[in-house]
Amino acid sequence: MNLATTEVKRAKLRFGLLTGAVALLVFLTLLLTTLSGALIGALVGALEGLKTDGLAYSDTARDNIAASRLPVDTVDAVAAVSGVAAAAGIGTLTTAAEVNGEAIDIQVFGVDSTGPGAPSGLTDGRLPENANEAAVDGGGVAIGDVIVLDPSGVELTVVGLLRGAQFNAIPTAYSDLATFEDIVTLSFPGLPFVPINAVAFDIAEGAQASEVIAAIESSVPGVRAYTRDDAVALIPGIDSITQSFGILVGLTFIIGIVVIGFFFLILTVQKLKSFTLLRAIGTTTGRLAITVSLQIAFVVILASIIAVGLVLLAVQGLNTGIPVTLEPITIVATVLAVLVFSLIAGLLSIRRIVRIDPASAVGAR
């Protein structure tokens, strides 16, 4: 005769409603975590996904790749620094485009597919090998589609599909550097020379990243160098965006936990008469505490299963415009956190149980 499960069986509606409410709270937390992760990924995914150890920008760029302008020969200058294994240029710009009859904004990267700075996250097809080919993340394109850039008129044929490679949360295309040069020249006629935005470099085996970066900055004039992770962290605004989302997710989580704690406190207070009786006839407080904890665990686990199902549906059904993937690690971490903190919130109920005076079960008072 298990008190916890028997009560749930007898009060299906009450526990059903409770489970539903908890499921919505877990759902909200999971969805916010997933969406904010996806949005941050879409903002910085391109830099994060570049296969390179480090990036060099012009020292006037204020850590912003889009504001950085470097002459093409910087690539050779960086490659010549001792401790640098290889270097390649990266160019990028935002431009209008038309694909499948639809006008979109697109971020174009010119990269060396075989050198440092090549994109990662290929899910289908291949990286560009020839002029006017592109690997793309987003925009609803398929392999074989042609993207017509505006105003340059350059046509890019999609040869590969990428994931987690967006920049600025818009569709992002990776072509070779020569094609990138064409796009810039045709977009801005009369430009004296076509700059690149950054130099990607790999660090030679055995060399210290910090020393190599210092060496680049001292021997190549007008350049600032970063490890890739530093470059990502320094993207303007990314700090405050990450923080804002952190607060949003954290608050949702905390409110959810507090609500769950109060739910169970209400259930406990409603049952005080029974609990007092059970204490009077010789039930230990520990046994009652376990009963409440079991019910919390049961409700939270069931609610989490429902919530994960809802999030899966939502991720498929919501058109967010950015690629959203549900990471198993996010789900497991969120559900575990909800479970652990719900049990801690359950201490509110257990504290109330500990305070029961079994003597108050006697008499009619």
Residues interacting with other proteins, by CB under 8 A?
1, 3, 6-7, 10-11, 273-274, 277-284, 287, 358-359, 361-364
> Among other proteins, Mg ion, none, what does residue 273 contact (CB within 5–8 Å per kind)?
other proteins
Q: Of 218 and 274, which has the nearer Cβ to other proteins?
A: 274
Instruction: Give dist(CA 192, CA 195) in Å, integer.
Output: 9
- Local structure of residue 327 (DSSP, 8 states): -
* Concatenated DSSP letters of 244-308: HHHHHHHHHHHHHHHHHHHHHHHHHHHTHHHHHHHHHTT--HHHHHHHHHHHHHHHHHHHHHHHH
> Least separation, in Å, of the C-beta of 18 and other proteins?
15
Question: Rounded to the nearest whole angstrom, what is the least distance from the CB of residue 268 to other proteins in the complex?
Answer: 14
328 binds, among other proteins, Mg ion, none (CB under 5 to 8 A by kind): none
What are the residues binding Mg ion (CB under 5 A)? 363
CB-facing half-sphere around the CA of 76: CA atoms within 13 A: 3
* CB of residue 363 to Mg ion, shortest distance in Å: 5
Q: Which is nearer to Mg ion, 10 or 365 (CB)?
A: 365
Binding partner of residue 310 among Mg ion, other proteins, none, CB cut-off 5 to 8 Å per kind: none
In whole angstroms, how close is the CB of 6 to other proteins at the nearest point?
A: 6
Q: Which residues pair with 158 in a beta bridge?
A: 134
Residue number with CB closer to Mg ion (328 or 363): 363
Distance from C-alpha of 361 to C-alpha of 211, rounded to nearest angstrom: 76
Taking the complex as a whole, the smallest distance from the CB of residue 364 to Mg ion amounts, in Å, to: 7
Is 273 or 351 the residue whose CB approaches other proteins more closely? 273
* 3-state secondary structure (DSSP) of residue 2: coil
The b/e string for 134-157 (b: 16+ C-beta within 10 A; e otherwise) is bbbbbbebeeeeebebeebebebe
Residue nearest to Mg ion (CB): 363
Query: How far is residue 66's CA from residue 195's CA, in Å, rounded to a whole number?
Result: 12
